[in-house]
Amino acid sequence: MKKFPLAIIICCLVNIFSLHSFASVADTILVIPAGGNTFTSNNEDIVKQNGVSGWSDQNTALEIYVRVTQTGTLRLLLNASTDSKSTITATIGNQSKKIKLTKNDTLVNAGEWRLKDTGYVKVELKGIEKSGSYFADIKSYTVSGTAINSRTVFVKNNEGNYFYWGRRGPSVHLGYTLSNDVKAEWFYNEVTVPSGEDVVGSYYMANGFAEGYFGMQVNSTTERRILFSIWSPYSTDDPKKIPADQQIVMLRKGEGVHTGEFGNEGSGGQSYLRYNWKAGNTYKFLLHAQPDNSSNTTTYTAYFFAPEKNEWQLVASFKRPKTNTYLKHLHSFLENFEPEQGNKTRKVLFGNQWVCDVNGNWSELTDAKFTGDNTARIGYRMDYGGGLDKSGLFYLQNCGFFSKYTQLNGNYKRPATGTKPAIDLDKLKVEN
């Protein structure tokens, strides 16, 4: 019979006692992985897939979010360790608890709070003092109490790389209703990002279609882009693997526009214009599709209208092989492409959508269906919204752990404007 050292036996007994003290027999006990559920105020490098590592800066706070469906008590344990001794605080609402950590700690009781409301709860951890080199390494957070049940929401595991996708937050979409009988050659949309909703890492995609997407981004605090991309018909995440006869061909590009390739989420041709668009202003997006039966290709051309310049400008024109179609599956979406920005809310408004067919007839699109990505559908994040805004425009909203979410797959109708785009399409094609 194998004998275990006394220290290991004592440690196991302490952990068992802690869990029994932590939760009653009737409580649901949930373990929240730190790697997929922790955000920081200013140092994302300490958040790894296996948890928080080397948290040493007193100015760096940790944020953990959990969504509850019932009120009651919430008890918190930290699976944490430090290299000497440290003191940290855990805060929910306006109540803070001091937590003492010592070397080789595993499960540490962080306290109990009474939750008076449902929805997302923010737990903030701050370092107070330390005698070693760091406050704590944290592998997970364990919650229980009468507010915790099987419907409590958090990123449960990393299967399918959900620590990455879960921290990015849910992407949301609006699919516009278009009759199958319409040969849509042009797609027009107007986009407004409200003041304060222009968060770094946001992509406000205006004109989505079966073969690509066109919209605007916040790439950093100093750079913004107008982005237009076309997927190759060849399925790969590596653009270098696309056969020559299935590569996207760049035909034209506007002044100052960068063109190249993209990968990782499918592959194809990409173009972008660095442009310092402004929150609160309305920007116009126009997409053209021209199929060619003889070559089995379709040419897609994107135009952008900025009110600051008061003119349409060409972004780029791409030819897609093995494609013979007009515009289909028209949609808009909102995504956050920076995981460290997933704790910040963003919103966008879409209005006055129109298509123009091959005969020059304009049709207004007033119906849209609200949907979400896998992160939303499996319930790892529920901070998403969309539909009809009080302004009468369609809207999308995501991230930031707001509590009032919108049910997926709802259908919405905006008031018709009856004001079709005042654009000389023939002149636009010639001039650009």
Residue 164 inside a domain? The answer is no
- The pLDDT score that the predictor gives to residue 260 is 81
Residue 181 inside a domain? The answer is yes
Range of the domain at 62: 6-154
Q: How far apart are CA 334 and CA 320, in angstroms?
A: 25
Same domain membership, residue 211 and residue 144:
no
**Is the CB of residue 268 less than 8 Å from the CB of residue 246?**
no
- The pLDDT score that the predictor gives to residue 267 is 75
Same domain membership, residue 192 and residue 133:
no
Query: What's the whole-number mean pLDDT along residues 105-129?
Result: 95
Residue 136 inside a domain? The answer is yes
- The pLDDT score that the predictor gives to residue 11 is 45
CA atoms within 13 A on the CB side of 100: 1
Q: Any idea what the CATH number is for the domain that residue 28 is in?
A: 2.60.120.260
Rounded to 5°, angle at Cα 392 from 387 and 398:
35
pLDDT, one tens digit per residue, over 39-95 is 998 878 999 999 999 999 999 999 999 999 999 999 999 999 999 999 999 999 999
pLDDT, one tens digit per residue, over 258-294 is 998 766 767 788 999 999 999 999 999 999 999 999 9
- The pLDDT score that the predictor gives to residue 13 is 42
What average pLDDT does the structure give for the chain? 92
Of 183 and 21, the structure prediction assigns the larger pLDDT to 183
- The pLDDT score that the predictor gives to residue 130 is 96
Residue 1 inside a domain? The answer is no
Query: What's the whole-number mean pLDDT along residues 395-417?
Result: 97
pTM value is: 0.91
Query: What's the whole-number mean pLDDT along residues 185-191?
Result: 98
- The pLDDT score that the predictor gives to residue 44 is 82
Same domain membership, residue 334 and residue 206:
yes
Distance between alpha carbon 412 and the CA centroid of its chain, in Å? 22
Same domain membership, residue 148 and residue 196:
no
Residue 349: pLDDT over 50: yes
Same domain membership, residue 17 and residue 111:
yes
Residue 21: pLDDT over 70: no
Number of domains forming the structure of the chain? 2
Same domain membership, residue 224 and residue 113:
no
Same domain membership, residue 270 and residue 142:
no
pLDDT, one tens digit per residue, over 334-348 is 999 999 999 999 999
Residue 163 inside a domain? The answer is no
